[in-house]
């Protein structure tokens, strides 16, 4: 009888990715798609978040069916980085169709915030056109751009 009571009072085990989210980052779905991966949102953009050794790997996902505004990365990602206790971020921008001034300003603010904490921001997955726009922009020298996540982590 004691075993039946103790098992009924146990809480279901949660994976580390389901513990909590920062106040300005809200979960997109209740179910986690895979161990070590969470889904979050940033101003209508989906985020696939993976925790690697000493890195947080974040991939922006375009919301289907509509054209969203640029993601507000500087407003949303610092809380996510603090949640995961790391300031080393690889940001996969494969689904970004265009690079505009608002996105560049957000990346610059995010980069400044990360650098102030001794961290690193690396971008990957940009199309050749978008990568060239980032390189030629006012903040271009601040953002190392890599082909993919693996190259960004091991560079």
| Domain ranges across the chain | 24-154
Q: Please give the Cα distance from 67 to 106 (Å, whole number).
A: 18
- If we measure between CA atoms, which residue out of 47, 144, 22 comes closest to residue 88? 144
Query: How confident is the model at residue 150, as a pLDDT?
Result: 93
**Residue 45: Cβ within 10 Å count:** 21
Q: Is 120 within 8 Å of 87 (Cβ atoms)?
A: yes
The topology (CATH level 3) of 24-154 is: Transcription Regulator spoIIAA (3.30.750)
Query: Does the predicted TM-score (pTM) go above 0.75?
Result: no
What's the pLDDT tens digit per position in 84-101?
Answer: 999 999 999 998 888 888
Task: Find the mean pLDDT for residues 39-66.
Answer: 77
Pick 70 or 37 by higher pLDDT.
70
Mean pLDDT, residues 127-150 taken together: 88
Taking the CA atoms of 12, 18, 19 and 25 in sequence, report the sign of the dihedral they define.
negative
Pick 12 or 91 by higher pLDDT. Answer: 91
The mean per-residue pLDDT over the stretch 110-127 comes to 94
């Amino acid at each position: 009888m004691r075993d039946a009571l103790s098992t009924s009072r146990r809480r279901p085990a949660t994976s580390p990715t389901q513990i909590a989210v920062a106040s300005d980052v809200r979960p997109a779905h209740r179910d986690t798609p895979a161990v070590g991966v969470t889904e979050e949102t940033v101003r209508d953009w989906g985020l696939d978040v993976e925790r690697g050794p000493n890195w947080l790997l974040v991939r922006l996902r375009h919301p289907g069916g509509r054209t969203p505004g640029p993601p507000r990365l500087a407003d949303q990602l610092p809380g996510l980085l603090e949640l995961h206790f790391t300031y080393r971020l690889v940001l996969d921008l494969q689904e970004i169709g265009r690079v505009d001034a608002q996105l560049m300003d957000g990346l610059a603010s995010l980069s400044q915030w990360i650098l102030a904490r001794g961290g690193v921001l690396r971008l990957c997955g940009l199309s050749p056109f978008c990568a060239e726009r980032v390189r030629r922009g006012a903040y271009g020298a601040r953002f190392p751009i890599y082909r993919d996540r693996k190259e960004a982590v091991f560079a």
